[in-house]
Amino acid sequence: MMSRGDDPQPQALAKPTFSDVQASALVESVFGLKVSKIQPLPSYDDQNFHVCISSTNDTADGPTEYVLKISNTESSKTPELIEVQNHVSMFLRAAGFPTASVHPTTGGNLTSLVAVDGGSGVASYLVRLLSYLPGRPVAEIPSSPQLLYEIGRLAGKLDETLQTFHHPKLSSLRRENFIWNLKNVPLLEKYLDALGQSRNREIVVEVIQLFKDEILTKLSHFRECINHGDLNDHNILVESSTSASGDTSYRVSGILDFGDMGYGYYVFEVAITIMYMMVESKRPVHVGGHVLAGFESVIPLTPVERGALFLLVCGRFCQSLVIAAYSCQLHPENKDYLMITAKTGWKHLQHMFDLGQKAVEEIWFETARSYDSGVSL
């Protein structure tokens, strides 16, 4: 699996392969909790388990469901980065966001490094236990304009709140060569062979060139902040409620996975959110205006930032699609999970490109403007 570390090279030992029994033993030995049920959760290159624990006198007040996260070997080499992610999650939770709390180890730490002999040598993995958040991924429900607006607003609130986050190891979030940082779209050139000779490859090559010419030259004009960096349709959970009139509405009940966090820009966060909200939508091009309106209700973008939005969304599509294609070559056994975005992503990217920046911006900005007049399109 392609590492989520700063060096975007494949790592033979990156993804952990713990069995249910091994994972259960970890929870009991490292965190001192008795497991009653455990099952794997899907993941990109870490390993996650949904853990139910048996309630005891000691744990009666705490949660009974957790997520055991076992970081891949590369991420496990940067414990300071994972420490900051843990503290961000707890900081946001204290500020009222639906993020996970972190359960300490028996020694009072937030993580533990465990060494395992997998037959081809000893590998070390950082493990942590997070509270299990309720809800269904946004990917599983039809997204209404109102929900898209709320998700955009959430993204803006998140970045705004993180302005006041401080930690002695905050500099670890300056991940200059991190393949998933949106400014690193040009790094995709190394992986283009995974696309063969195709129309898809031609589009990616064009996006990379436009990105170099029109985004990298403007970075100094964007306002910097800390980004979540991966507000995708599987990392946002929602719960439904039914009104007296029988209408179903959704509220965000969980924000998952801070593994792609880093220093970026406000406009990066909204672009990434727009791209992922487009993936499952039946009217993908119209998504952007609703998300943008929500984001700008908290942090209005400058004209330069707005002008970069189209290419930034295209750039994120390219990152997701190229890295998935490359990773599939390395790990065909994980193809179903890796290709979730690709099923519709290439079609959406091509459609955006065929429409062109001016036409797409017109739809986005017109929709966003309609919120000012109180009539959402």
Residues in the chain: 377
Radius of gyration of the chain (CA): 21
- Dump the DSSP string for 64-90: SEEEEEE--TTGGG-HHHHHHHHHHHH
Q: Indicate the residue type of 344.
A: T
Phi, psi of 351 (to 5 degrees): -65, -45
- Dump the DSSP string for 239-293: EEEE-TTS-EEEEEEEE---TT-EEEEHHHHHHHHHHHHHTT-SSHHHHHHHHHH
**Catalytic pick among 159, 230, 233, 260:** 230
Q: Indicate the residue type of 250.
A: Y
d(CA 73, CA 77): 7
Q: Identify any residues that bridge with 41 across adjacent strands, giving them in sequence order.
A: 48
Closest CA to 274 of 238, 323, 314, 239: 314
Q: How many CB atoms lie within 10 A of CB 101?
A: 16
Q: How many CB atoms lie within 10 A of CB 137?
A: 17
d(CA 363, CA 289): 7
d(CA 377, CA 375): 6
d(CA 341, CA 321): 7
The CA–CA distances, whole Å, from 91 to 120, 222, 258, 329, 362 equal: 39, 25, 12, 38, 38
Element at 183 (helix H, strand E): none
Three-state secondary structure call for residue 180: coil
d(CA 144, CA 283): 11
Our answer to whether residue 336 is catalytic in this structure is: no
Q: Which residues are catalytic?
A: 230
